[in-house]
Structure 1
């Protein structure tokens, strides 16, 4: 009987071990299932986030969409520029005299002009100053004149336009120093200290045929394109509406919305865009190609010319 009891105890112990082993296996299987679901779910959300932001590109290489604080005429500076700095990077604007007066307009905004969905997600507050030089006491003005600081509100595409007006007889003698200085404590949406430029107005060229010019807005002696993920290129047409062709190098790509917004024909193989433009200026956005790190603005290879006319030969 004693031997039979020991045998029964051994069987019960073996049964308990078997149940414990089965339980452990079930726990391991459950943990594995939870991990698999988490991996699949995480992968799904990661992929969704990637596809949802496929076209989201920042202005600064180290920033995000919150870095959007820009101007079509003024340049961004990380520290306050000196007068010599502004003189080296001065901007020229074409004015069209009317009734003895000249004027030009500049804008300050917190979104991509080509697509307002790309908007700064934080506030930027600035104070604006416009200094006129060489006017010799003549009456001039800029409107609107902010009474105090101006805020570009978060998540709201906002653009402020300012128009400077001065006498026509001061053309060739005057220039303006414009600064939009960031109020740092109220501006989590930018790391810039200010937007600024020395602006030199000039009279429109007296031409009957169209002329085409282009220039990089962001290029200065103090920075290189390696500091940016995008750049702005200003195209100016004078004289008459004309067909123009933009070209760019392998280090950048044109704004994907440009063909739709400007009825342009884009050839990705030759990296060209052709479209018809009215007299005036426009800004074209270019983005750095993934994996490219050009250290010189010239390597971007961006240029604009009048579209070559195809000549036909008559058969006699």
Structure 2
């Protein structure tokens, strides 16, 4: 009997070892499958999150801006903070000339990013210094013009539609005798903000005669600076680069201790290169004007800060 039992045990031992091997292999395969599954799930989630992020950047709840008007978070900004803007006009044939300004709900540098809410506003334009009000008018897009015969024009319930590129282009027509003398005071009051923090927009637009073009000349200048305005009055700063003549390479710098360049500037402008110092840009521009945005650094701008302190300037190469 003992011999028989011994024989039986030696036959069962290999089966037990084989079972353990198979069981171990099954565990390993299960772990591999689990790891692969987790990786696939993470990859799918990450890809989904990336796509959602891309789509989300196409909408923003607070986009309301203009190519000429300054934005304010109050309904009635003080006159001292409203910028004066020179509007270059051509003195061609005929007795009148014109210029335009726009209000829109998308990024100027990227029209694929627009506001997610409808925005409604009223706009009033008052003219001072005109020699002939009967020839002054304001028109929205292709609508019939409204006369400045009474000295001002108000257009109510102006709409910018949500979730699409939406803009309103206004044309001011004036007699050539008003160039260099008339001032068109534009005031916009937002009546349905749709979530935007902008409550009003304003500027004093002054039609001016085009200066004689200099070959390959360019400059950068503040669009907000006036004798009464201080940098402390603004959260962001608009600068215009103007190129005359032919295509020109421009090189500008700024005080990186006080302001920072729009972080998407080099992304939205092909060929624009940020310098290794982090506070200069080189790019080639065709004739025309380009708006550049700078943002104040938290806690760095005070009432004593001057426009010269921002040190946004051209550099001759």
TM-score (norm 1): 0.66
1:247 counterpart = 2:262 = no
- Residue 10 (structure 2) aligns with: none
Contact 1:141–1:166, Cα closer than 8 Å, also in 2? yes
- Residue 53 (structure 2) aligns with: 52
CA distance 1:66–1:231, shift in 2 (3 Å)? farther
CA distance 1:253–1:222, shift in 2 (3 Å)? closer
Offset, 1:197 = 0.9
1:71 counterpart = 2:66 = yes
- Residue 176 (structure 2) aligns with: 168
1:107 counterpart = 2:105 = no
Q: RMSD between aligned alpha carbons?
A: 3.8
Structure 2 residue matching 1:154: 3-state secondary structure: coil
Alignment of 1:288-299 (within 5 A): 292-296=298-302, 298=307
- Residue 273 (structure 1) aligns with: 281
1:213 counterpart = 2:207 = no
1:190 counterpart = 2:185 = no
CA distance 1:154–1:190, shift in 2 (3 Å)? same
- Residue 88 (structure 2) aligns with: 94
CA distance 1:91–1:98, shift in 2 (3 Å)? same
Structure 1 residue matching 2:184: 3-state secondary structure: strand
TM-score (norm 2): 0.65
Structure 2 residue matching 1:67: 3-state secondary structure: coil
Structure 1 runs not aligned, ≥5 long: 1-36, 57-63, 309-316
- Alignment size in residue pairs: 253
Structure 2 runs not aligned, ≥5 long: 1-37, 144-154
Provide the C-alpha distance between the structure 2 equivalents of 1:212 and 1:303, rounded to a whole number of angstroms. 11
Contact 2:127–2:184, Cα closer than 8 Å, also in 1? yes
1:177 counterpart = 2:185 = yes
Offset, 1:158 = 1.6
Provide the C-alpha distance between the structure 2 equivalents of 1:302 and 1:104, rounded to a whole number of angstroms. 31
